[in-house]
A and B are shown apart, each in its own frame.
Chain A
Amino acid sequence: MARRVGLEVSLACAEAVKLCNADVIAAYPITPQTHIVEHLSELVADGHLDAEFVPVESEHSAMSACVGSAAAGARTFTSSSAQGLALMHEMLFIASGLRLPIVMAVANRSLSAPISIWNDHSDIMAERDIGWVQTFAETGQEVLDLMLHAFKVAEDPRVCLPVAVNLDGFILTHVIEPMEMPDQAEADAYLPPFVPSQSLDPAAPVSMGMVGMPEVYTEAKKAALVALEDSYPVIKEHWEGFAEQFGRSYKPIETYRTEDADTLFVTMGSLGETCMTAVDEMRQDGKSVGQVRIRLWRPFPDEDFMAAIAGAKNLIFIDRALSPGVAAGPVATEMRALLYTKGKNMFTANFVCGLGGRDVTRTDFAGMLAKVEAAAAAGNEITCEMVGVKE
Chain B
Amino acid sequence: MADEGMTPWKDLALGCAMTEPGSSKSFNTGDWRSRHRPVTDRETCIKCGLCWIMCPDMAYTADPDAEGYYLWDSYYCKGCGICIEECPKDAISWQEEKEEDKYGPACGT
Q: Does A100 contact B (CB under 8 A)?
A: yes
- Supplied contacts A160-B15, A210-B17, A219-B8, 19 more A-B pairs, CB within 8 Å: A97-B16, A98-B16, A99-B14, A160-B14, A198-B13, A198-B17, A206-B17, A206-B18, A207-B18, A208-B15, A208-B17, A208-B18, A210-B16, A215-B5, A216-B6, A216-B7, A219-B9, A219-B12, A226-B9
> How close is B62's CB to chain A, nearest CB, in angstroms?
28
> How close is A266's CB to chain B, nearest CB, in angstroms?
34
CA distance A215 to B16 in the complex (A): 12
Number of interface residues, chain A, beta carbon within 8 A: 23
| Binary contact readout A195-230 vs B (1 if CB under 8 angstroms, 0 otherwise) | 001100000011110101011101110111010000
Residues A220 and B12 in contact in the complex (CB < 8 Å), given A214-B1, A215-B1, A215-B6? yes
Q: Interface of B with A (CB < 8 Å)?
A: 1, 5-10, 12-19, 21
Number of A-B contacts (CB under 8 A): 53
Point out which of B9, B14, B17, B19 has the most chain A C-beta atoms below 10 A from its C-beta: B14
> How close is A147's CB to chain B, nearest CB, in angstroms?
24
> How close is A63's CB to chain B, nearest CB, in angstroms?
16
Majority secondary structure, B binding face: loop
B18 touches A198 (CB 8 A): no
A218: B residues at CB distance < 8 A: 9
B9: A residues at CB distance < 8 A: 218-220, 222-223, 226
Within 8 A of B (CB), among A92-149: 97-100
CA distance A220 to B8 in the complex (A): 9
> How close is B64's CB to chain A, nearest CB, in angstroms?
31
A226: B residues at CB distance < 8 A: 9
A selection of 14 A-B contacts at a CB cut-off of 8 Å is A97-B16, A99-B15, A198-B14, A198-B17, A206-B13, A206-B18, A206-B19, A207-B17, A208-B17, A208-B18, A212-B16, A218-B9, A223-B10, A224-B15
B12: A residues at CB distance < 8 A: 216, 219-220, 223
A210: B residues at CB distance < 8 A: 16-18
Residues A220 and B21 in contact in the complex (CB < 8 Å), given A214-B1, A215-B1? no
CA distance A182 to B45 in the complex (A): 77
Point out which of A100, A215, A226 has the most chain B C-beta atoms below 10 A from its C-beta: A215
| Binary contact readout A265-285 vs B (1 if CB under 8 angstroms, 0 otherwise) | 000000000000000000000
CA distance A206 to B6 in the complex (A): 20
CA distance A220 to B14 in the complex (A): 9
